[in-house]
Amino acid sequence: MEIPAPTFPFSSALYEVNQCQVHESISIDVLSCVDQDGAEPSSNSVSAHNLLRLAAIMDSSSYRQRAEAMFAAFSSHLENIPVAVPEMLRALMLYSLPVEQVLK
For 24-50, the pLDDT digits (tens) are 545 554 545 567 787 788 888 999 999
pTM of the model: 0.65
- pLDDT, residue 34, reads 61
Res 104 pLDDT > 90:
no
Largest Cα–Cα separation, the chain:
56
- pLDDT, residue 48, reads 92
The tens digit of pLDDT for each residue in 56-100 reads 989 899 999 999 999 999 999 899 988 898 999 999 999 998 777
CA angle 44, 67, 88 (to 5 degrees): 45
